A = this chain, B = another copy of it.
């Protein structure tokens, strides 16, 4: 694996290598319509709203979550295939 490819992949793995972000992804994927707004996510995680927004931004920047603003709410959903690509890296060739 090239250094450049490793750096690229590490950015995505870093994004999910946090307990609260793993729970965010899990909560969103199991939500109604596979999407959730920030106000639905703060209480089950026990974190403040700014902290949850911060984590969500990291996941969006890594290409794992998608953000859609509808009215006053921001709805977050999984980017199709993003996690599967990472899963493929971990299971290939061994």
Residues in A lying within 8 Å of B, measured CB to CB: 1, 3, 6-7, 9-10, 13-14, 16-20, 22-23, 26-27, 29-30, 34, 78, 83-84, 86-88, 90-91, 93-94
> Shortest beta-carbon distance, A30 to chain B, in Å?
7
The answer to whether A17 and B23 have CB atoms under 8 Å apart is no
The answer to whether A29 and B93 have CB atoms under 8 Å apart is yes
Contact of A91 among B22, B23, B87, B93 (CB under 8 A): B87
A88 to B1, CA, bound (A): 22
Q: Which are the 8 A-B pairs with shortest beta-carbon distances?
A: A13-B17, A87-B90, A1-B26, A6-B19, A17-B17, A87-B87, A87-B91, A14-B17
The answer to whether B34 and A94 have CB atoms under 8 Å apart is yes
